Structure 1
Amino acid sequence: MVNNAEEILPKYWYNIIPDLPKPLPPPRDPLGAEFSRIDLLRTILPKEVLRQQLTIERYIKIPDEVRERYLAIGRPTPLLRAKRLEEYLGTPAKIYFKFEGATPTGSHKINTALPQAYFAMEEGVEHVVTETGAGQWGTATALAATMYGMKSTIFMVKISYEQKPMRKSIMQLYGGEVYPSPTDLTEFGKKIRNERPDHPGSLGIAMSEAIEYALNNHLKYLVGSVLDVVILHQSVIGQETMAQLDELGEEPDVLIGCVGGGSNFGGFAFPFIGNGRGKKYVAVASAEIPKFSTGEYKYDFPDSAGLLPLVKMITMGNNYVPPPIYAGGLRYHGAAPSLSLLMKEGIVGWREYNENQIFEAAQIFMRTQGIVPAPESSHAIRAVIEEALEAKKTGRKETIVFNLSGHGLLDLPNYDSMMRRIVKNEQR
C-alpha cells in the first residue's frame, strides 16, 4: 500500500469525454420550449461548475484549497484486500475494494461536494440548495457548505427521509435544513402532493424542487450525480486506485461498481477505461428499478419537472415513480450520459439484483470482512461474489477490484426491515 498521501492523491481531475469512443450527444432544449434550460444552468450553477460540465479538456487542475480539503477528510481512501471473502468463496481470484466509506460523511459524495461548495464560495454565494436520495449527497453538501461558511437547504426523497432518520439528523448537525420531498415549499412539490398525497417521492422530483427553490430564492444549486462534472470530480477515486494497485504490483482484470446516477461507478472506473486498464467493467443496478434491462437510450430530462436540459441517457422516463426500495441511492430513473454511451457501445456491461440477492451478499461481506456496506454498495458486492465464483469454476486467477461506495452504519433500519421481510417470506 502506498503510504504517501500527497503522492497518491491526484493533482488533476480526469475527464473521459475526449476519450469516449464517439462524441457525446450534447444537451439540448426541448422543441418549442418556453424558456431555455441551458440558459437556466447559467443561473443556478456556480460558474466554474458549469464550465467544467461543458469542457472537453482531458485533465483539469484540482485547486490547491480543494486538494488540501481532500487530504483533511482522509483522502486517499484505503484500497483493501478482501482476503477473508476470498477464503470463504474458495476462489483463486484476488479481490480488492476501494473503501469510500472511510470519509467523514461515509460515502464518495464528499469528493464533488467540496469542489462545488468551494467554487460557490469563490463567487460570494452564502446559501446553496440541493436534493438527496439516500442521504449521502445531502450529508456531503451540508458538511461542505458549512466548511466554506455557507447555509444549505436539502430536499430529501420522502421515503428515505422516513426510512433513514439518522441521515436527516446528521445533515442537521452539519448545519443543513432538510425537507421531505415532495414538499409545499415549491409549486412542483404542491402539484405532486395534490395528485398523490402519499407519494413516496423520487430523486427526479427532489431535483425539480431544489432547482425551483434555488430559482425562486436566488440561490446556487449543487448537483450530486448524473451530470458529467460530478463524475469528473469523482475521478479521484479511480486515479487513487490505479496508484495503489501500481504500488502493490497488481493489474486489474475486472472493475465493478453500483449505479444510481453513475457518479461512483464513473469516478472509479472511467480513469481505468481511459487508460486502457482492465478487461471487464460491470455496472450494477437494482432489479426493482430495472433501467438497464428495460430502459431506453434517448433524450430525457434528468429531473421530473423538466427544468434541466434534455440529455441522452439510458432512462425509464423522467415521470417514472420508483418503488420505495431498501437502497434509496439507486432509485433514479436514468444513468449519466457518458456511462450510458459506454454501455450502449458495449464497453461497460451491466447486472441487476433484487433485495434478497444483495442482502445475502451484504451478510457474507459483513461476516468475512467486518464492514457493514451501504445497501447500494451491496449490489456491487453481489457481482463481485458471482465473478469470484465463476473464476473458481474456471480456475482463472484474475484480480477483481470494486468500489465500496459507502458504509451502511446509518442504513441499519433498512437492513432490519430487509431481515423482517425475508424471514416473513420464508415462513410463507
Structure 2
Amino acid sequence: MAQSIYLSSSAYPQFSFKGDEQFLGRFVPKKTPCRLRLLSNSRVAPRAAYPVDSRAIEIPRRWYNLIADLPVKPPPPLNPKTFEPVKPEDLSPLFPDELIKQEVTDERFIDIPEEVIDVYRLWRPTPLIRAKRLEKLLDTPARIYYKYEGVSPAGSHKPNTAVPQVWYNAQQGVKNVVTETGAGQWGSSLAFACSLFGLNCEVWQVRASYDQKPYRKLMMQTWGAKVHPSPSTITEAGRRILEQDPLSPGSLGIAISEAVEVAATNADTKYCLGSVLNHVLLHQTVIGEECIKQMEAIGETPDVIIGCTGGGSNFGGLAFPFIREKLSGKINPLIRAVEPAACPSLTKGVYAYDYGDTAGLTPLMKMHTLGHDFIPDPIHAGGLRYHGMSPLISHVYELGFMETIWIAQTECFAGAIQFARSEGLIPAPEPTHAIAATIREALHCRETGESKVILMAMCGHGHFDLPAYEKYLQGDLVDLSFSEEKIKASLAKIPLLEPKLTV
C-alpha cells in the first residue's frame, strides 16, 4: 500500500515517490531536520524517498520575455487621448520606472533582484505533482502532472508578481499602492507583499466577489490593506456606475477604473495590476522555467499544456517558457487556454484596440475583448471575469501558437470534486476550468489508447471558496453563460483603431 508522507520542515519535498503520486518540489537542504510521519493505520514503514537532481529545481534567477523570440512583435498600446503609441512617460503616473522598462523591453531575460528571490524562497520552487490517483479514477493511459502554485502565502500564483511590483515601487520611494481584485487572490497577494516592504495598500474588490468571498477580504485586512467593494462611492467612476445600476455586481473593468483614477490623481500613489500587462506575465514565467527543469529531471515532455485564462497571468506564466522551447523546435506540445462560459474573451471576443477598464482611463490595447463595459454574470471564478485577454496572449493566439475553449462552471466543479476526492487538494474555482479540460483530454486518451503527457496549471487552492462548493454539492449551482445581445451591445462601443505608426 502506498504511503503518504509529510515533512515537518517548512520546505516542500524534492522527493519522488513510488506510490500514488510523485512530488517534485522544493530542495531540502542537507542540514534541515525532517521527521517523516506515516499517515496510515498500516504498520508497514514508509519507503525511503530519494531526491531528484536538485539542480533542476532551483529558483530561476531570471524572468523570461517571450516577445524577444516572437517572429512578429505585438502591436503597441495607444495613448487614449492621442491614439499614438504609448511613450514611457505616459505610464509614469501609474507605474515606477523599472516596471515601465520591463513593460516595453525587447530583452530576452530580465535578472530577478536578490531581494525578490529572498522572498520567493518562502514558497518557491513550487511542486510539480503527478496526479496518479486521478489517472486511476479516470482509467486513462495519460500521465497527468500539475504545477501547484497554491503553496504561496496567499494561496495562489499571484505573489510571483506582487512581490517584485511592490519592491520596485519601494525602491522608487513610493509609499502607497492601489489595485483591483476579482476573487481576492491578487488583492491578498499585493497586501502580503506590501506588508513585507512597508507600503500602504488599498484594494477595490469586485462587488460580487466581495460578497461571495469575505475571507479573502479578511486576508487583505490582516496584511494591512484597506478594502472597498467595487463599484464604490469613493471614485467618480464608481459613482457613475452606481447611478446607472445601484445593484451592479461590478466587474474587473470597473474596479480597475476606480484604482487607476485614485493613482492618477494622487502623486504619492502608484497602481499595481495583477494580470494582463507584459511585465506581469514576465514575472510569472518563474512557473514555466521551474516546470521545464522539473520535467527534464524525470524525463518527461508535455504533449498537452492546459491552463485557465482570465487576464492571462497564470496561463502565460506556465506556457510562455514552453512556447520558447516550441519555437526552437525542441518540443511541440498542444497549448490550450480554458475560459469560463460566462466570459469567453478569446473564443467569442474580437481582436481589436480596446480600453483595459470600463471608464476608458487606461491605454488602448490590441487584445481579444468582449468590450470594455461588458459585465459578466457573477460566476464563482471571480478571477476570470475580465472583459479582455492579455495583449501578449491575444497576439500569441493570433499567431497560432495556442488554442482556446470555454467550459461552463457546473462541469468545472464536477471536475474539481473528482480532483479533490482523488488528489486531496481543493482547487480555487479558477483552475477548475483547467481541471475540467484536463479530464476531457484524459478521457479522450482512454478512448484512443494514447499515453499522452498532460501538464496542467493549478494556480491556487479553494480554501476560501467553499461556499461555491456548498452550492454545487447542494445542487444549487447553475451555469451562467454569455448573452449574445449583451456582447454585441458592448462590442459596438469599442474603438476599432489601428496604431498611427511613424515610418
Instruction: Check the 8 A contact 1:181/1:189 in 2, yes or no.
Output: yes
Offset at residue 424 of structure 1 (A):
8.6
| Superposed counterparts of 1:132-281, under 5 Å | 132-218=181-267, 219-276=269-326, 277-281=331-335
Distance of 1:322 and 1:37 partners within structure 2: 32
User: Among residues 451, 455, 467, which one is paired with 1:413 in the alignment?
Assistant: 467
CA RMSD of aligned residues (A): 1.8
1:357 paired to 2:406: no
Q: Per-residue displacement from partner, 1:120-155 (whole Å, max 9, x unpaired)?
A: 000111111111011000000001011001110000
Identical positions, percent: 47
More helix by share: 1
User: Among residues 427, 438, 441, which one is paired with 1:384 in the alignment?
Assistant: 438
Q: Tell which deviates more after alignment, 302-311 or 371-380.
A: 302-311
1:123 paired to 2:172: yes
1:336 paired to 2:336: no
Instruction: Check the 8 A contact 1:109/1:140 in 2, yes or no.
Output: yes
Distance of 1:346 and 1:284 partners within structure 2: 16
Q: Per-residue displacement from partner, 1:7-58 (whole Å, max 9, x unpaired)?
A: 5211100010122231100111246569979644211101111110010111
Q: Tell which deviates more after alignment, 226-235 or 345-354.
A: 345-354
Distance of 1:421 and 1:55 partners within structure 2: 49
For these two proteins, the number of residue pairs brought into alignment is 424
User: Among residues 62, 65, 73, which one is paired with 1:12 in the alignment?
Assistant: 62
Task: Between the two structures, name the one with larger relative contact order (CA 8 Å, sep ≥ 6).
Answer: 1
* TM-score of the two chains, using structure 2 as the length reference: 0.82
Corresponding residue for 1:49?
A: 99
Rate the CA distance shift 1:78–1:321 in 2: closer, same or farther, 3 A: same
Distance of 1:285 and 1:133 partners within structure 2: 15
1:320 paired to 2:377: no
Instruction: Check the 8 A contact 2:314/2:457 in 1, yes or no.
Output: yes
Q: Tell which deviates more after alignment, 37-46 or 238-247.
A: 37-46
Corresponding residue for 1:107?
A: 156
Offset at residue 418 of structure 1 (A):
3.1
Q: Secondary structure, in 3 states, of the residue corresponding to 2:397?
A: helix
Extract unaligned runs of 5+ from structure 1: none
Offset at residue 423 of structure 1 (A):
7.3
Q: Per-residue displacement from partner, 1:53-97 (whole Å, max 9, x unpaired)?
A: 0101110000011011101x2101110010000001111111000
1:403 paired to 2:453: no
Offset at residue 326 of structure 1 (A):
1.3
Rate the CA distance shift 1:43–1:30 in 2: closer, same or farther, 3 A: closer
Instruction: Check the 8 A contact 1:40/1:308 in 2, yes or no.
Output: no
Q: Per-residue displacement from partner, 1:227-278 (whole Å, max 9, x unpaired)?
A: 0110000000000101111111111111110001000000001000011234
| Superposed counterparts of 1:32-71, under 5 Å | 32=82, 39-71=89-121
| Superposed counterparts of 1:89-104, under 5 Å | 89-104=138-153
Extract unaligned runs of 5+ from structure 2: 1-23, 28-53, 480-503
Instruction: Check the 8 A contact 1:185/1:213 in 2, yes or no.
Output: no
Q: Secondary structure, in 3 states, of the residue corresponding to 2:275?
A: coil
Corresponding residue for 1:289?
A: 343
Q: Secondary structure, in 3 states, of the residue corresponding to 1:418?
A: helix
Q: Secondary structure, in 3 states, of the residue corresponding to 1:220?
A: strand
Rate the CA distance shift 1:355–1:44 in 2: closer, same or farther, 3 A: same
Distance of 1:35 and 1:283 partners within structure 2: 29
* TM-score of the two chains, using structure 1 as the length reference: 0.96
Distance of 2:374 and 2:129 partners within structure 1: 38
Larger radius of gyration: 2
